[in-house]
Structure 1
């Protein structure tokens, strides 16, 4: 069962929350991060992507970057940009995007729940990215970015959220992308205990986004245990910062693919090979094609959109991973036809989040790439089933929106 706890958040002063809050560190590159902080000395990217405050060209994994992150965090605290709550609280974090609402419980989750499988994952992690976040957390001595977890909706939690959100929020701002962010603080010990008790009845939490941050938080916690052999269960390093959302409120966007070349094939050769595994329809309209159901794909190359449908014999519905559209495309087209053996490492393929729109695929295929594929989104039910079966999704299977902002909550490990 899920073990959570309240914590003393380090968080922005109320009038600075909108300026501090930033997108997660891994959804932008160095140049984009530098552009985002222009004119905003309060942006949390000065901590989460501290290389932007160092010399151009510095290795983002350089020790100086982590030292700068620690220095910037301390500076934000010393200048009063951040305050620390006196009590251990639980918080409610609501985001509104295009009229759609998702509301999460902000708390700390036990690292043991990750180790014993209560917190379930669905992705592999890369050692270099893990090491980056391990160093970041270790140097800052804090979880600086919350892990995006989900759970199957629970009526008692819904009632607590409904009552708590009738009160005056501590934050209410709109970020530069038009998303509303509202935060309430729960200080009542009885309500906090009830939330903790309810989650103690919930058998599983699922990582929606943040596998590298989760793995890093767990490994830093284990390092602290080795350094403190007489540690107590309530010690902060035994927990990591999380936002827990009911699965029913979440939306997964499509995660599309673009490839640099046709692997030496002509258009005719490409289409003939694809027709062996997909039904292919050449679209006469100039409009982009966005699939409206599973096992359909859009393909754009050389000025033409095609509608692809996987042939029934190529779909294995008995295997939850193999039946994913990202798997079907990879196993039947990207690998055998375009030669993309390992999409994690092959620099001929790139991934485009659905939030950018289908027009971005046309743009990329007409510029630096040669072919693009539009996908139908993976469902939250597929994600949970894969995690329950202890299986792993192919890379870049899910894109969640809205993104949890970093910098609104920090959890100190002391």
Structure 2
């Protein structure tokens, strides 16, 4: 089976994309989702977050929620808001905001390649969230949330996609967060074959964002194959919806931390203890780290620059050398007693898109005691971790800009 393949996508009818497109299902809470759909009967949130059409007391993992999503999808198809292409296509997708732009392709990626680690992952999944995606796919008989994949930049692929994007886009919308989404439908069989072969020659793809969705797709495929006495491997369920960008164009922002207390230490005692492991300098400006082993710390209305010595950075270990690991191993665990960032309620995470001001606001509110700013994890570091078959610490990457849901879906 090829690494990726074209498919007949389900997408907004002409002129309806602006009504349909929605942020990813997991970037807002319930109250925010309910607010977003007001006056927007065709928002894709009615499918990806169908609890918005049910009482606020509903369990979001209830079977009623998944049934409502399926009902809403059927309605949008029946009303002609969503239509399926009649032939296999790729969909060239450009994301733009400000000076940043990235050009990739919406494709169906091979579950077999994922299962054999040719599509590499770097995060663990949480059972509840993974099961939620399994239930969603089964109820809809479709994959509606794309997995964000990355390919090692290849000039031939880049040039082919750029050539398609020279034409007039089929979809061209700008979302409320100022991100521009453009899509070109690639239906030419010659170029489809060429793109498929170019991707097939790549050594690997990498899951950037969407570990729960890709894991869920694998589980659904295994279950359907086992239940299908005529299984061939060519069925749509053997592939999962993805958007694939070249690694050099992918933008990862910092993923910062706030901690509720100093584990019984006074501020002076805490600073003294930190000083035993880091060079500590007070600064007059917020600290945005510029190199590995450097961190910003906001405490009692003051910013500090924390710097580790070169000998404290284990450069031969792709996980231990990450800044998120260095902060955890040198400060969060030994000084603040935070051993498991996945489960400890004393720590929270703030995406870099919110800026350093958000860290200051959290601490100044009195609810949090100290904040840390980190250097963004690089795409090269992520790929090195995945190539080594290792797992990143939680909340290591914040990808921006975000993909939109609803622009292309994959029916099973």
TM-score (norm: length of structure 2): 0.98
CA displacement at 1:173 relative to structure 2: 1.0
Aligned to 2:309: 311
CA displacement, residues 77-131 of structure 1 (integer Å, 9 cap, x when unaligned)? 1111101111111110001111211011111011000011110000011111100
Q: Does structure 2 retain, via aligned residues, the 8 Å contact 1:290–1:374?
A: yes
Q: 1:2 to 1:305 in 2, by over 3 A?
A: farther
Matches within 5 A, 1:35-54: 35-54=35-54
**2:325 aligns to what?**
327
1:370 corresponds to 2:377: no
**CA separation in 2, counterparts of 1:32 and 1:349?**
23
Matched, 1:140 2:140: yes
Q: Deviations over 1:358-399 (max 9, x none)?
A: 100000111121211111000000000000000010000000
CA distance in 2: counterparts of 1:27 and 1:302, whole angstroms: 30
Q: Which residue of 1 aligns with 2:300?
A: 302
Deviation, structure 1 residue 313: 3.3
Q: 2:297–2:371: 8 Å Cα contact kept in structure 1?
A: yes
Answer yes or no: is the 8 Å Cα contact 2:103–2:162 preserved in 1: no
CA distance in structure 2 between the aligned counterparts of 1:118 and 1:327, rounded to whole angstroms: 26
| Contact 2:102–2:245 (8 Å) recurs in 1 | yes
Partner of 1:17: 17
Which residue matches 2:207?
207
Query: 1:103 aligns to what SS in structure 2?
Result: strand
SS at match of 2:136: helix
Runs (4 or more) in structure 1 with deviation over 4 Å come to none
Bigger CA drift: 259-268 or 320-329?
259-268
Report what 2:91 is aligned to. 91
Structure 1 residue 20: Cα displacement: 1.2
Q: 2:343 aligns with which of 336, 342, 345?
A: 345
**Aligned: 1:154 with 2:150:** no
**Unaligned regions of 5+ residues in structure 2, if any?**
none
Contact kept, 8 Å, 1:106 with 1:242, in 2: the verdict is yes
Once the two structures are TM-superposed, the CA of residue 2 in structure 1 deviates from its matched residue by 5.8
| Structure 1: gaps of 5 or more residues | none
Per the TM alignment, residue 14 of structure 1 is displaced from its structure 2 partner at its CA by: 2.6
Looking at structure 2, the residues matched to 244 and 229 of structure 1 have their Cα atoms a distance apart, in angstroms, of 32
Find the residue that maps to 2:26 and give its secondary structure.
helix
- Residues 267-315 of structure 1, C-alpha deviations (whole Å, 9 max, x = no match): 01111111111110112x2x32111222110011111111101133321
The offset of 1:140, in angstroms, is 0.7
What's the offset of the Cα at 1:162? Answer: 2.0
- Counterpart in the other structure of 2:352: 354
1:388 aligns with 2:395: no
- Whether the aligned pair in 1 keeps the contact of 2:148 and 2:207 (CA below 8 Å) is yes
Question: 8 Å contact 1:137–1:143 — kept in the other structure?
Answer: yes
Alpha-carbon displacement from aligned partner over 1:337-372 (angstroms, at most 9, x marks no partner): 111111101111111100011100000111121211
CA distance in 2, matches of 1:254, 1:18: 30
Alpha-carbon distance in 2 for matches of 1:346, 1:28 = 21
**Preserved contact between residue 2 and residue 201 of structure 1 (Cα < 8 Å):** no
Distance 1:300 1:14 in 2: 49
Query: CA-to-partner distance for each residue in 1:202-231, whole Å, 9 max, x for gaps?
Result: 010000100001100111111110111321
The within-5 A match list for 1:234-313 is: 234-283=234-283, 285=284, 287-313=285-311
**Cα distance between partner residues in 2 of 1:4 and 1:37:** 34
Contact 1:259 1:349 (8 Å CA) reproduced = yes
Shift of 1:57: 2.2
CA distance in 2, matches of 1:350, 1:210: 20
- Give the Cα–Cα distance (whole angstroms) in 1 for the partners of residues 324 and 259 of structure 2: 14
Q: Distance in 1 between matches of 2:319 and 2:331?
A: 16
Q: Contact 1:171–1:183 at 8 Å: present in 2 too?
A: yes
Alpha-carbon distance between aligned partners in 2 of 1:192 and 1:214, rounded to the nearest angstrom: 23
CA contact (8 A) 1:2 1:118 kept: no
Aligned position for 2:61: 61
Matched, 1:232 2:239: no
Is contact 1:2-1:203 (8 Å) kept? no
3-state DSSP of counterpart to 1:376? coil
**Could you tell me how far apart the structure 2 residues matched to 1:77 and 1:366 are?**
49
**Secondary structure, aligned partner of 2:91:** strand
Deviation (angstroms), 1:38: 1.9
Quick one: structure 1 residues 226 and 278, their matched pair in 2 at CA, closer, same or farther if it must change by over 3 Å?
same
Question: Any conservation in 2 of the 1:90–1:192 contact (CA below 8 Å)?
Answer: yes
CA distance in 1, matches of 2:236, 2:199: 19
SS in 2 for 1:51: helix
For 1:179, the equivalent position in structure 2 comes to: 179
